[in-house]
Each structure stands twice: as structure tokens, then as C-alpha cells.
Chains A and B, each alone.
Chain A
Amino acid sequence: MADLTPTPSDVPAVVLDNVSKSFGDHTVLDGVSLTIERGSIAVMLGPSGTGKSVLLRCLVGLLQPDQGRVLVFGEDVAALDEKRAADRKRLFAVRRRFGMLFQDGALFDDMTVFDNVAFPMRLHTDLSEQAIHEKVSDRLARVGVAHAEQKFPSELSGGMRKRVAFARAIAIDPDIVLCDEPSSGLDPVMSATLDELILELHRTLGMTFIIISHDTAEARKVADTIGMLANGKLVTFGPAERVFAENHPALEQFFTRATVGPIKVV
């Protein structure tokens, strides 16, 4: 993106340094530290309700951690307060490098599918309406919702909404794409198609992906970095081959779908 100062290429995309976050007396993240390199595809696994979505929200400054640093291309997002004008400007500059697929889509109800995907392009690029049209149609075709361009979000199925939200997240070719469960609610074929699109965007445009998933097949297919969050802690995190080889009990439980193991349903 043009208006941003280039960051030295050795600065990681994302660094979390001892990040903690509680709601009341409920500690959701408890001293999480991790580094996600540029151009990697990190898949975060973890049981429902452990704070995966909270982690993503901390990355874009929608939530402020109680403690710790959240470095995005070297800028500490956790230290920026959206309510202060000067901070907001810097926060917005960082956010422009993100595309985000929210867990429940968060499409704009009063805009058509087309306008939803065109929205970030119209705001943040100089593309002509013609160019936007081509790009939106292309993106929608790739996620298989080209036929629904003129529909409103309320007229789509859950899986379609998810795919439109993915198309919106990648609309302006962001540096980092955050995907909160992109494949939940999709059929296996569609979900594999989406995985391939992620791999292609990663290959051709060098986008960094941070993907939250419950889908272990997806993790095996796309991840070069794998992490697992449980009970507020990062139980394992690192290059996919290593993590798979070391086979942490919680991860194994996830992959084998066992009900007995370190992950407890209380």
C-alpha cells in the first residue's frame, strides 16, 4: 500500500510478547508470546472458547490486552488508544495492512454482496469503478458466489456469507489476512477450494495468513506454522513439521478427536 513507510524485511509480520487478557476475573489469554514471520501461513487451533478470536481482536487493536506487546510490522498496537486522534491515525495505518474475516462474517446488511467486497477498494485504493468491478467479480467467482453479486447478506446461506466475507477480507490485497474459522460451515469441496485460494494468494502475492481453524485437514494442507491455544496458554507453536513431529498430547487429541486427553469439556 502506497502511503506506508516500508518496513525492513527482517521485521516479522506479528510478534506477541507476553500478552494477557482478562474479562473480569476470567483470564482468557495468559502470557502468550509468539512470532509469525512474513509470508507464512499460521494456523491456530484450540478448543472452543479459549480465546482464539480474542487473540485476533488484539492483533487489530479491537481489544487492548491488559499486559504485553502486540507488534505488527514492529508497531506496538497494544500501546495505541483508538480514542486518541494521533493514536487512531497510526492504528488505522497499521490496520490498512490487514484484511479480516470475522467469525460471523460481519458483512454490512444494507449493502449488496458486490458493494460489500467493493467497499474497501473504493475507500482505500484509486482503482476506477471499472477496475473495481472486474476485481470484485473475479474474487467472488473464485469463492463461488458470482451468481449472488446483487443479493443482500440476509439473502445468503451461512456458508455463502463466510465466502463473501473472505472475498472482502482479501479485497485490497492486504499484507496480513486474519481468518476466523474460514472453513466452518462450508462443505468439504468448498473448503478445499478456499484452502487452494489461500495457498495461491500466498504464493503469488506473498500474503501472510493467520487462520483460526477447527479443521485439522485444513491445518495439514495449508499451514507452515502451527499453534495451539488451550486454557489461555499457547501449548505448542512452531513450524508445522516440527509441531506435527513432536505431537503434543493436546494436539494429538485434536487430530484424533479423542474425548480423553488434556483438553477437558467441563
Chain B
Amino acid sequence: MDKLLRSLHTLGALVMFAGQVARSAFTPPVYLGETLRMMNVLAKRCVIPVSLAVAPVGAVISLQGISIFKLFGAERMLSSFLGTAIFREYSPALASVMVAAQAGSSIAARIGTMKVRGQIDALAVMSVDPVRFVVVPGVLACVIVAPLLSVLTNLLGVFSGWVFAVPIGGVDHGAFMEHLTAQITPADLWIGLGKCSLFGLGVGLIAGYLGLNVGKGAADVGKAANDTVVSTIVLILLVDYAVSMALLGAGL
């Protein structure tokens, strides 16, 4: 009961925090330079892990897919399955999970460190709102970088799938491309990108909140980073499931 109350309290605080971040993001001063800097930092941190994560997934879909589609003599259709799976599900989920793991932890650790070392107070004394200066840029960077990464993972996932389907699996290249382009609709692309932005928003907010509300010492900074990763990944997977169900239900 006590635990439930505490969770509710945290949830309420998080919602209030989100409101404050939203207000700060859309009213001046907005620290654009910080936002660009954060985007750069986060993109660099995420690009390799996210590529390493998605390439094998494309490959596995092709490998498994071929053996099953062959049963029906439909290997030519493999790419339509591959494309949908990558664009709609794997690419957004993997890109977001990597953003959570890399960007979320680094944002929470950076803000947490600034907090325990008095730098957040120093900002405040210099009349700089810490939410505007350190949280908003991190949130915006996550919201923008996550979908950009998913564009990359879309291409990489399909490419690695192609490698295992066409040159290795012997599927006809023309058929592969034809079914790929026929099956993937703009909606698939936009839904994937939208999910990434949504997850990026969640990662940035939770990282910022846990970073600013860190405990007192170095160990607490590690805890904030760790909690950010675990809670955002769980959240991403749950919300992803809910969104997919809802969209399927809506016939999209």
C-alpha cells in the first residue's frame, strides 16, 4: 500500500515535471546551442550500438522467413514480411531501446553528476533555469535523434535481410524489391518514426527527472542512470505493444 502510494506520487511528480518541460520547451529562452550539442553527442553514442543491434535482426528474419515461406513456395513474398516487421516493429523498438540504454543513461548520469556536484545550483544562481538548460535540450535531442536513428535501422535492417534473402538465400532480387516497395506504405514509415519520437520523449523525460532528483552521492548517480534504462526499456516495450495492438485494431 505504501509502495503503491509512493509510485503514484512519483507518477504525479513526473506528470508535473513533463508539464514544466513542455512549457519550458515552447517559451523563450530556448537554448538551441545546447540542444544541437546534445543531439550530436547522443547520435554519436547511439549509432554504432543501434546498427549492431538491428543488422542481425534483419538477417534472422530472412533466414527464418525463407524456411517457412518455402513451405508454401512463397519465398518471393519474404520481403513484404521483412519490410513490415523491420519498419513497424523492430526498427523503432530497437532504436528506442538503444536510445534508452545509451542516451537515457548518459543524460541521467550527466544531470545527476551536475546535481550532486553543485553545478545545478550554480546554474540556478546564474539565473539559468536548469530545466531549460539541461533537461529540455536532452528531451528534444532524444525526440529528434530516436527517429533519425530508426531511419538508419530501417535501411540497415532491410539491407541485412536482403543479404540473407537474395545473395545467400537465392530469392530473386527483382521480386524482393517489388514486394518490399508494394508492401511498405508511407503509414508504416510514419508510424515507426512517430513511435520513436514518443519513446524518445519518454526516455528524455525520465532521464531528466531521475537525474534532477538524484540522491546525494556518486552511487546515487549510477542508480539514477540504471533506473532510467530499466524503467524506460520496460515502458517502451509495454507502450510499443499497446500501440501496435491499437493500430492493428484501427486497421492501420
Contact between A104 and B127, CB atoms less than 8 A apart: no
Q: Are A109 and B119 within 8 A (Cβ)?
A: yes
Let me know if A102 is at the binding interface, CB within 8 A.
Answer: yes
Contact of A119 among B114, B124, B126 (CB under 8 A): B126
* Minimal Cβ-Cβ distance residue in A for B123: A108
CB-based nearest A residue for B120: A106
Q: Is B117 an interface residue (CB 8 A)?
A: yes
Task: Return the contact of A62 from the options B110, B114, B121, B127 (Cβ within 8 A).
Answer: B121
A216-235 vs B: 1/0 string, CB under 8 Å? 00000000000000000000
Closest to A102 in B: B118
- Is the Cβ of B122 less than 8 Å from the Cβ of A106? yes
Task: Indicate if A151 sits at the interface (CB-CB under 8 A).
Answer: no
A265 to chain B, nearest CB (A): 25
Q: Are B127 and A124 in contact, with the CB atoms below 8 A?
A: yes
What's the count of A-B pairs with C-beta under 8 Å?
46
In the bound assembly, the distance between CA atoms of A74 and B129 in angstroms comes to 23
Residue of B at shortest CB range from A63? B121
Bound complex: CA A1 to CA B51 (Å): 51
Chain A 76-122 interface residues, beta-carbon cutoff 8 Å to B: 82, 85, 88, 92-93, 95-96, 98, 100, 102, 104, 106-110, 119-120
Q: Specify which chain A residues have a CB less than 8 angstroms from the CB of B114 in the assembled complex.
A: 108-109
Please tell me if the beta carbons of B117 and A62 are within 8 angstroms of each other in the complex: no
CA distance A92 to B131 in the complex (A): 14
Residues in B whose Cβ lies below 8 Å from that of A96 = 127
Selected contact of B119 from candidates A60, A106, A124, CB within 8 Å = A106
Which residues 38-85 of A have a CB within 8 angstroms of B? 57, 60, 62, 82, 85
Q: Is the Cβ of A123 less than 8 Å from the Cβ of B126? A: yes
- With both beta carbons as reference points, the residue of chain B lying nearest to A103 in the complex is identified as B118
B125 within 8 A of A: yes
From A60, A110, A123, A124, B125 is in contact (CB under 8 Å) with A60
Chain B positions within 8 Å of A119 at CB level = 126
A40 to B50, CA, bound (A): 59
Q: How many residues from B make CB contacts under 8 Å with A?
A: 15
Judge if B74 is at the interface, Cβ distance under 8 Å.
Answer: no
How many Å lie between the Cα of A82 and that of B125 in the bound state? 11
Of B23, B117, B124, B126, which one neighbours A82 at CB under 8 angstroms? B124
The number of chain A residues with a CB under 8 A from chain B is 23
- Residues of chain A with a CB closer than 8 A to B150's CB: none
Determine whether the beta carbon of A109 is less than 8 Å from that of B117: yes
Q: Quick check: B118 and A100 within 8 Å, CB to CB?
A: no
Q: For the complex, is B113 an interface residue (Cβ under 8 Å from A)?
A: yes
Q: Does B52 contact A (CB under 8 A)?
A: no
Q: What's the least CB distance linking B176 to chain A, in Å?
A: 47
CA gap between A108 and B37 in the complex, in Å: 15
Encoded as 1 (CB less than 8 Å from any A CB) or 0, chain B from 130 to 155 comes to 00000000000000000000000000
- Say yes or no: is B246 at the interface (Cβ < 8 Å to chain A): no
In the complex, what residue of chain A is closest to B126 when comparing beta carbons?
A120
Which of B23, B122, B124, B125 is close to A108, meaning CB atoms less than 8 Å apart?
Answer: B122
Could you say which residues of chain A place their CB within 8 Å of the CB of B126?
95, 119-120, 123-124
Q: Which of B23, B118, B124, B125 has the most CB of A within 10 A?
A: B125
Q: How far is the CA of A85 from the CA of B121 in the complex (A)?
A: 17
A98 touches B125 (CB 8 A): yes
Q: Which of B1-40 contact A (CB under 8 A)?
A: 23
Query: CA–CA, A92 to B126, complex, Å?
Result: 8
- With an 8 A cutoff between CB atoms, is B128 at the interface? yes
CA distance A85 to B128 in the complex (A): 13
Shortest Cβ distance from residue A214 to the other chain B in the assembled complex, whole angstroms:
20
Provide the residues of chain A in CB contact with B113, threshold 8 Å: 109
Give A180 Cβ to nearest chain B Cβ, in Å.
Answer: 11
A104 near B122 (CB under 8 angstroms)?
no
A181–B9 CA distance with the chains assembled, in angstroms: 39
Q: Which 3 A-B pairs have the closest CB atoms?
A: A92-B127, A106-B118, A106-B122
Listed by A's residue number, 6 A-B pairs whose Cβ atoms lie within 8 Å are: A92-B127, A100-B125, A104-B118, A106-B122, A108-B114, A119-B126
